[in-house]
Amino acid sequence: MNFLVTGGAGFIGSHVCERLLGDGHRVWAFDDLNDFYDPQIKQRNLQDLRASGRPFEFSQGDVTDAAPLQELFHRVKFDQVIHLAARAGVRPSLAQPALYQRVNVEGTVNVLEAARKTGVKKITLASSSSVYGVNSKVPFSEADPIVSAISPYAASKLAGEALGHVYHHIYGLDVVMLRFFTVYGPRQRPDLAIHKFTKLIDAGQPIPVFGDGSSARDHTFIADIVDGVLACTKKEFGFEIFNLGESQVIRLDRLIALIEAALGKRAVIDRQPLQPGDVPITYADISKARRLLGYQPQVPAEKGIPIFVDWFRKNRQ
């Protein structure tokens, strides 16, 4: 099949492209290579994908600009779209809420419109566990009422989910929304906690720890996330929302200890106050994904952190 992966040069996107190519599909990646973090990192991801020798093409463009998207959709007959392109991160969204709305909401509309106008019937879109906000019940279930988003990023992802439902209800697209829970692994973005902490601890520099270390996250290894994404491409759902997490919660202080053990170095803690927009816990109920996708995460943090640290050591700049 012909797949378009928006955000295909990024962390999750490049892994999805790699797996699709390995499964024998033709893959096009669409990415603007913006400077949210060093664009050379994405360029290296693209070099690896091109070096595979499999049918891969890259188109540079911004999802907020409908014209290059429409040109690509008219030039290539896509069977499916996996829409991962977004401005990511809770804390950066506090400083640039309009940018997050433009990319994550208007950009999603542009992708959905291009798909609708060219007859693409199936699209898988990335959402986020941040939509749950300060949820009083754990683990978080797709059936929970969503009334407490506390960041512009979370609000933009909720809007994307609503748009996905509209395009299913009105236009008949088969739409799956995936709420990712704190994804990590090789090629992880350098601004994310595990990568940032590993780099700082390795260099003997202090790591910023917001709060007392009791906050907890459902850290999910990239290979497990890709398993869930690809499972969505293999059957029709109409419209569904799935949590993709490890369903195992790791406290921040425990996460730091795992990184220390993998590096063989102790962390220097720079204790800081909790930040606006942060939530105390994320914890995925994945029973729906297990039932309907056959989703079965395989890599707990105790196994995944050493894999990431090994990749970091081989690729440190």
- 39 within 8 A of 16, measured Cβ to Cβ: no
**CA separation for the pair 56, 26 (Å, rounded):** 6
Which two three-digit tokens encode residue 230? 């690809």
The DSSP secondary structure of 100-168, one letter per residue, reads HHIIIIIHHHHHHHHHHHTT--EEEEEEEGGGG-S-SSSSB-TTS------SHHHHHHHHHHHHHHHHH
Which residues are catalytic, by number? 153
Q: What would the two tokens of residue 218 be?
A: 């459902």
138 near 87, Cβ under 8 Å? no
Please tell me the distance from the alpha carbon of residue 282 to that of residue 278, in angstroms, as a whole number.
10
Q: Which of 166, 160, 74, 60 is nearest to 118 (CA)?
A: 74
CB 62 within 8 A of CB 32: yes
Select from 12, 17, 10 the least CA-distant residue to 181.
Answer: 12
Radius of gyration of the chain (CA): 19
Which of 94, 262, 86 is closest to 183 using CA atoms? Answer: 86
